[in-house]
Amino acid sequence: MMSPALLNLNTYIEISTALCDMVGLGRAYQAIAKVLVSQGKVTEAIKYLEEFVKVAKSAHLSRSLVDACVFLGDIYNEKVSIVIMMMQNSWFYFRVKT
């Protein structure tokens, strides 16, 4: 079931699309991505951020493009940090066990 926030933001996407409001559309994608990240749905959030990047590029919204790319970078950086931590823990476990 979709949260009320996501339902409202999807309505915002529909309205922004109907009005050809690229700034509003980008903001909606960004807001949905933030909600999804807070719910732990990072992969789905990345899809919305990639849409945000497409909108920003097509409408020549340089500030929005920066915001989208920074948010994507933060997510990927966090994912890499988690993988590194897991690898270090595995290495430590392997070293202690042998």
The CATH class, in words, for 4-97 is mainly alpha
What does the pLDDT look like over 32-61, one tens digit per residue? Answer: 999 999 999 999 999 999 999 999 999 999
The DSSP code sequence of the chain is: ---HHHHHHHHHHHHHHHTT-HHHHHHHHHHHHHHHHHTT-HHHHHHHHHHHHHHHHHTT-HHHHHHHHHHHHHHHHHHHHHHHHHHHHHHHHHHHH-
Domain positions in the chain are: 4-97
Rounded average pLDDT over 20-43 = 94
Query: Which amino acid is residue 71, in one-letter code?
Result: F
Percent of the chain with pLDDT over 90: 70
